[in-house]
Structure 1
Amino acid sequence: MPTPNFAAEAERIRQRVMDTLLGAFSELSEGLLIVDREARIVWMNEQYPHHLNIPDPAAVIGLPVEDVIPNSQMRSVVTTGRPIMLDIMDFGNESFVVMRLPVRDEAGEIIGGFGVVVFDDPRQLAPIVSRFQNLRHELADTRRKLDEARRTKYSFANFVGASPACLSVKDQARRAARASSPVLIIGETGTGKELLAQAIHSASPRAGAPFVAVNIAAIPETLLESEFFGVAPGAYTGADRKGRSGKFELAQGGTLFLDEIGDMSPSLQAKLLRALQEKEIEPVGSNRLISVDVRIIAATSRKLQQEVDEGRFRADLFYRLNVMTLQVPPLRERLDDLPIIAESLADSVARRLGEPPRSLAPRALAYLARHNWPGNVRELANVLERGLLMSDADSLEREDFERILPGLEARPANPPAGHPRTLEEVQQEAEREAILAAIAAAAGNKAQAARKLGISRASLYEKISALGIAGDL
């Protein structure tokens, strides 16, 4: 604790500094000016009149400062009470870097102001300006990267497929893009729900605004509220003193994608519902409401209607989200798309790994089509990457995938007990296997395969279409 002697000495030093500060500025500065509350000149130091080409300094005392220095901002300082800490003032052919401050009396009333020429040559500011410009460039670069991170990477062209199931969901998604209503995307894991959400945003009128994604299942429940709605400055111990914006604010004007919405807790469901209804949020620890304009696209791998029926998901929130519903089919239900999806994924993986492009042999595709693909397109990408890394050949063969997916029984020859197949189903399966074997033996030449099967090429194409095996070729 400071002693009485220290306190007295400190006060003496402070008073001395205050008494000599003006004198020090007067001696060191190339210009020092004092005005009264009416912005009339009260005093100048000896150097300033020389820079201002004033032959008789006494003659300007009492004059409005603008009559002597046309570009002065001292009147603004004494009128508003706001200092101008750093400015460049032009006077004739000269430019000065100046600082302007208000002067207050003991009661805090403004009684005048003073200005100081910090530099009489703005070039002396070059190091400061250079650092400032570097900081501006770094800030702009950071903002650009953040904007890029919040832009969508996918469009409808990335949702690969030409099967009826794929075309149907893409058509529905394009209609959703033209509207502004909430969208609920339902599908198994790995089917491309976020890709479809990004495609909707990219084709919507909000495409130029942010796309912000939140994976609800990946964030601890205790943090979800602050992630959504933000945190007020100093809301709790350890909170950022400047506060933090939530996902709703970050997505302002754009789209907020809520992945795995079915995993949201009931308490947060209620707060989300209010945000959607009122279009306003309240940051954690704040009593201030913030208006938001975001479009909601939600996705889930759960059966939300069943969750509602069993009381695990709020019915009112479900109805709010379930305006436009997209059901993304699993890969096993659109195997006609498997060849084109596999080729696209193989090219993408090869580019990422720095590998040359590889093709997939018809027998390899036929083998992959026998898998049930519980992980859907994401699992297919994993299998293709493993195949590319394990093979040096220009084309991936069936044997490459047999090592990764041994003993595939996605389409078992013997159905489960209690589910006997009809004679028509047995015949179709036999025809399917015969056609695939013939085409594989003919190295993909369908005319030669038709001759091996003893049918015309037209008949072969008809059977391929009727049996739905175009994707196996």
Structure 2
Amino acid sequence: MSGCPGYGKKEVIGRYILDIIPESRLPEVLQSGRIHEADIWSVNGRDTIVTRLPIIKNGKIIGAIAKSLFLDVSGAKMMLKKLQETQQEFQALFEALIESPYMVYVIVDKNGFITNMNKTYLDALALDRGEVVGKHILEIIPESKLPEILSTGRIDKADIWPINGRDTIVTRLPIIKDDKIIGAIAKSLFLDMSGARILMHRLQETEKEFRAISEALIECPYMVYVIVDKDGIITSINQTYLDALGMEKSEVVGKHISKITPTSLLPEVLKTRQIDLADIYTINGQDTIVTRLPIIKDGEIIGAIARSLFMDISGAKILMNKLQETKKELNIYREELRQGYQAKWQFKDLIGQSPAFLKVKSVAEQVSHSVSTLLITGESGTGKELFAHAIHNSSDRSSYPFVMINCAALPDSLLESELFGYEEGAFTGARKGGKPGKFELAMGGTIFLDEIGDMPLSMQTRLLTVLQDRMVERIGGTRPIYIDVRVIAATNRDLEELVANNKFRQDLYYRLNVVRLDIPPLRERSEDIPLLAKNLIKKINQKLGTKINKISYKTIELMQNYGWPGNVRELENLLERALNLADMNRENSITIKHFPLMVENTYFRDEPNPSTLPDAIEQLEKQLIIQALEKTNGNKMQAAKVLGIYTSALYRKISKYGLDEL
């Protein structure tokens, strides 16, 4: 090791570790398989953070590795000079990592006082080093979890942490010396929200495999790599590649890449900045897939790297074919899913010209380009679902699924499995292979939670967690699933009242009520009724195969005086009934007589109680005439016979009561 003066490589290789480094704890790692995440170790009188971990193959410990990074810059330079034999490249690497604009870190002592913080973190906090070092971590970062790490010794391997308004993956771990916690470190890499959560999930999912692979990667017998500087001079090469070339490191490092491998394309990468993600390259008669890419700092190329994994060409082709087949299959499934969960309506289908309606439609068009959670409120039948469809179709997510679920239509247990899915064997009757939930099916698109006010409280808690973490976990599952879904919720209930009565979670209400659309009821936009009726009649004619397009003025007037408790849905239902009646009687227009229930409700619902006997008689007379005309389908001669009066008298009374259209 570079920290052991007085030894050469030949004097160390093949010797027992304790003969060279008596204080080494690698035998303990070999025996226990335990991982030492961060410990203080003295190398040549200089303290360093060291990580020790076993190397595992096929479930068995086949070796162990100890790696360290000197805390001060000079120590780091010395270490890398020994390891890489080039101080200049280390400086670039060190600056790119430690003072990278993408990486932040902070170190505290056992009492929580800051001992070190890098420039990127200082810049994010808008502070100078003198204002930070020596202060307690909670004084600088009140929400920091490092004091918990100090008290519990817990390791947070991947957590989301906001820094200056940006989400990042943070790793927190204690610093241990002689089995005692003497400090803690938090380090992180800036990422956007979606990238951070995806990466966190990937890291948590494959952490054990990642650790074993990453530590053995550089000297893996199946991987080769070579690094050159900006002039094409080889600065680093691993032993596997040297063995394939049949050369020693001293014969290679410092030479131009074309002198060692004349067919190398790295000079071209340096010249063109071109990235070769997957190319077939022959090394010592063996075909391999190689990746070549430039190394860039501050916009300038400072070198290039080629790395590859040995495999025969048939294996490469098989892998490539499998990937292509999987991609095709995935695209087929994705298109089937999109077709099965596709929004139907667009903003042009939302009919109305009243100021109230145009205002809410304009707001809906604006929020369609947002990713914020949306709450749509309004009475039953006002068209909340149509607005949700139109918003999705106008958004950047329109090519992805639009998935609907009615929260009031399913019992608690079934609603949970529909929303979140389940794993195989999660419960009796569970489908073999499990089933994805609606949130998974809506990946990349929109999920519409209708009747959210009727969702059970137990489900509200789970939904709140999903909205906060953007993760779902299937019933019977053990791993979280990241979701990229926009949530649109709708209700005809008063959520504020439900919150006040403890029937709806207040925190969920605030989470849903980020952007809100209130759809006006039909009675508050009666001027839209003629336009709505015209469009609905056209739609119903196509459905029924009828050709009745006329509607009398008196009928429109009647509609505008009606209260419409069922809103647009009720209007459509009554128009369909009227068209059926008119078609059965071979009539070519819709009149008041085709709306008997609406006539009765409109004329008598708000009729004041008669104060005199003549008023009561007139009210009764009018009602009897309407009923007689309904029974005779508007035949006035037959209606007169039913009423027992002359036809001429009936005409006079119809005119008196304004019933000419009946």
CA distance, structure 2, for counterparts of residue 397 and residue 291 of structure 1: 56
Per the alignment, residue 247 of structure 1 pairs with 438
2:488 counterpart SS class: strand
CA distance, structure 2, for counterparts of residue 415 and residue 164 of structure 1: 36
Deviation at residue 147 of structure 1 after TM alignment: 2.5
2:540 is the alignment partner of 1:349 = yes
Per the alignment, residue 91 of structure 1 pairs with none
Per the alignment, residue 591 of structure 2 pairs with 397
Q: 1:331 aligns with which of 510, 522, 528?
A: 522
Q: 1:228 aligns with which of 411, 415, 419?
A: 419
Per the alignment, residue 277 of structure 1 pairs with 468
Per the alignment, residue 200 of structure 1 pairs with 391
Per the alignment, residue 321 of structure 1 pairs with 512
C-alpha spacing 1:401/1:78, structure 2 compared with 1 (3 Å):
closer
The AA in structure 2 aligned to 1:401 is F
1:299 counterpart SS class: strand
CA distance, structure 1, for counterparts of residue 372 and residue 331 of structure 2: 33
**Structure with more contact order per residue of length (Cα contacts < 8 Å, sep ≥ 6):** 1
Contact 2:354 2:525 in 1 (8 A): yes
Per the alignment, residue 182 of structure 1 pairs with 373
Calculate the TM-score normalised by the size of structure 2. 0.41
Per the alignment, residue 38 of structure 1 pairs with none
2:595 counterpart SS class: helix
Q: After superposition, give the CA deviation of every residue in 1:67-116 in whole Å (9 maximum; x if it has no partner).
A: 9xxxxxxx979998x9x8xx9xxxxxxxxxxxxxxxxxxxxxxxxxxxxx
C-alpha spacing 1:142/1:281, structure 2 compared with 1 (3 Å):
closer
Greater strand share, structure number: 2
Per the alignment, residue 430 of structure 1 pairs with none
The AA in structure 2 aligned to 1:395 is S
The AA in structure 2 aligned to 1:227 is E
**4+ residue stretches of structure 1 with deviation over 6 A?**
75-80, 139-143
2:467 counterpart SS class: helix
Q: What does 1:298-313 correspond to in 2, within 5 Å? A: 298-313=489-504
C-alpha spacing 1:283/1:338, structure 2 compared with 1 (3 Å):
same
The AA in structure 2 aligned to 1:378 is R
CA distance, structure 1, for counterparts of residue 604 and residue 436 of structure 2: 48
2:359 is the alignment partner of 1:168 = yes
Greater helix share, structure number: 1
CA distance, structure 2, for counterparts of residue 416 and residue 307 of structure 1: 41
The AA in structure 1 aligned to 2:530 is P
C-alpha spacing 1:403/1:307, structure 2 compared with 1 (3 Å):
closer
2:428 counterpart SS class: coil
Deviation at residue 155 of structure 1 after TM alignment: 0.9
Deviation at residue 153 of structure 1 after TM alignment: 0.7
C-alpha spacing 1:323/1:411, structure 2 compared with 1 (3 Å):
farther
Contact 1:370 1:411 in 2 (8 A): no
1:218 counterpart SS class: coil
Calculate the TM-score normalised by the size of structure 1. 0.57
Contact 1:387 1:404 in 2 (8 A): no
Contact 1:373 1:379 in 2 (8 A): yes
Deviation at residue 207 of structure 1 after TM alignment: 1.2
Deviation at residue 411 of structure 1 after TM alignment: 7.5
Q: Percent identity?
A: 44
Per the alignment, residue 268 of structure 1 pairs with 459
Q: Give me the CA root mean square deviation.
A: 3.1
C-alpha spacing 1:415/1:229, structure 2 compared with 1 (3 Å):
farther
Unmatched 5+ stretches in structure 1: 1-66, 68-74, 88-135, 418-473
The AA in structure 2 aligned to 1:259 is D
Per the alignment, residue 360 of structure 1 pairs with 551
Deviation at residue 294 of structure 1 after TM alignment: 0.5
Contact 1:371 1:410 in 2 (8 A): no
C-alpha spacing 1:291/1:385, structure 2 compared with 1 (3 Å):
same
CA distance, structure 2, for counterparts of residue 410 and residue 163 of structure 1: 28
Deviation at residue 148 of structure 1 after TM alignment: 2.3
Deviation at residue 405 of structure 1 after TM alignment: 4.5
Unmatched 5+ stretches in structure 2: 1-284, 286-309, 322-327, 612-662
CA distance, structure 2, for counterparts of residue 170 and residue 274 of structure 1: 31
2:407 is the alignment partner of 1:213 = no
C-alpha spacing 1:393/1:291, structure 2 compared with 1 (3 Å):
same
Per the alignment, residue 450 of structure 2 pairs with 259
CA distance, structure 2, for counterparts of residue 415 and residue 184 of structure 1: 42
